[in-house]
Amino acid sequence: MWEFRSMTFWRAVFAEFFGTMFFVFFGLGAALRWTTGPYHVLHVAMCFGFAAATMIQSIGHISGGHINPAVTFAYLVGSQMSLFRAFFYWAAQCLGAVAGAAVLYGVTPNNMRGNMALNTLQPGISLGMGTTVEVFLTMQLVICVFAVTDERRNGRLGSAALSIGFAVTVGHLMGMYYTGAGMNPARSFAPAVQLILFKCWMLPSCPMIGGAMGALLYDFMLFPRMRGLSERLATLKGSRPPETETQQDTRGDPIELKTQAL
C-alpha cells in the first residue's frame, strides 16, 4: 500500500486519535451529572457540538477531521477513501475515545462518575425506537458532512466545521431524550470500556448504519458522483490516491474542512 509508506498518512491517523480523544473527553465531561435535578440537555448538546467543530477545524486539513467511525464508514461506502485507511482511522478513533474516557474517569471523583454518560435507552424507549433514532441522527450528520466538504460545490460560504458542529448539536438536542444521542460509535464505545459493559453493542453499531445510509443518499441521489465501478474499486483498494488528493489544495478558502487525506 502506497499509504503505508506515507508520513502524511500516519500524521492523519494520529490526528484522528488526537481529535477523537479530546472530543470524547470534553463531551462526556459535560454529560456527567454534577448536580441533582433536571438534566441540562442544552448544555451537553452545545458542548458536544462545539467540541466537534473545534476538533474538526483543528485537524481537518490533516486527516479530514472525521473523529467518528460512522463518518469514516460513510466515506468508505461512498468510495472516497481506501479500506486500508479506513481501518487505521477506526482503530485510531476507538483508541482515542478510550483514552479520552480513561483520562476523564481518572480525574472525576468516584461519586460523580455515574455511568460515564453511557448511551442507554431511556425509559419507555424500545430497542427498535432507539435504533431508528440513532440511524436518523447519524444520517443527518453524514449528509451535512458530505455536503459542506464537497469539492464540487459552488459558492463555499460559511464554516464547514461549524456547520458540522451544529449538526452534532441538533442531534443531541433531540436524541438525548431517546438514547443519550450516540451518533458516534467511538463515543458510545469508550464509556462502555471504562465500565466493562461490552454487552452494550447495539447503540454503537446504529450510527454505522446511519452513516452508510447517509453516504448512499448523498452520493447516489442528492448529488451523485459520476464514477465507474472500476474507479470506485481502485479507491477502496488504495491503489491510487482518492480524487480529492489529486486536486489543488484550497485550504485558504472559507470551507475549512477540505478532507485532504481522504
What single string gives the DSSP state of each residue in 39-67? --HHHHHHHHHHHHHHHHHHHHHHH----
**What local confidence, expressed as pLDDT, does residue 144 receive?**
95
**What local confidence, expressed as pLDDT, does residue 56 receive?**
95
End-to-end CA distance of the chain: 15
For cell 490533516, what's the residue? 62
Cα 125 from Cα 182, distance rounded (Å): 15
Cα 187 from Cα 196, distance rounded (Å): 15
Contacts of 217 (CB under 8 A, 6+ apart): 139, 143
Contacts of 63 (CB under 8 A, 6+ apart): 11, 12, 13, 15, 16, 19, 89, 260, 261
Cell triple for residue 154? 459552488
Cell triple for residue 252? 485558504
Question: How would you write the pLDDT of the chain (262 residues) with one tens digit per residue?
Answer: 567 778 889 999 999 999 999 999 999 999 898 877 777 899 999 999 999 999 999 999 999 999 999 999 999 998 889 899 999 999 999 999 999 998 898 898 988 888 888 888 899 999 899 999 999 999 999 999 999 998 888 766 688 999 999 999 999 999 999 998 889 999 988 887 766 543 444 455 667 777 888 888 787 776 777 777 787 777 777 775 555 444 433 333 433 444 444 4
Contact by Cβ (8 Å): 51, 27: yes
Cell triple for residue 95? 483508541
Contact by Cβ (8 Å): 59, 257: no
**What local confidence, expressed as pLDDT, does residue 240 receive?**
58
Measured in whole angstroms, how far is the alpha carbon of residue 76 from the centre of its chain? Answer: 13
Q: How many CB atoms lie within 10 A of CB 229?
A: 8
**DSSP character for 249?**
P
Cα 8 from Cα 47, distance rounded (Å): 30
**What local confidence, expressed as pLDDT, does residue 261 receive?**
41
Contacts of 104 (CB under 8 A, 6+ apart): 24, 25, 28, 29, 32, 116
Q: pTM above the 0.85 mark?
A: no
CA distances, 244 to each of 1, 20, 52, 205 (Å): 18, 23, 22, 28
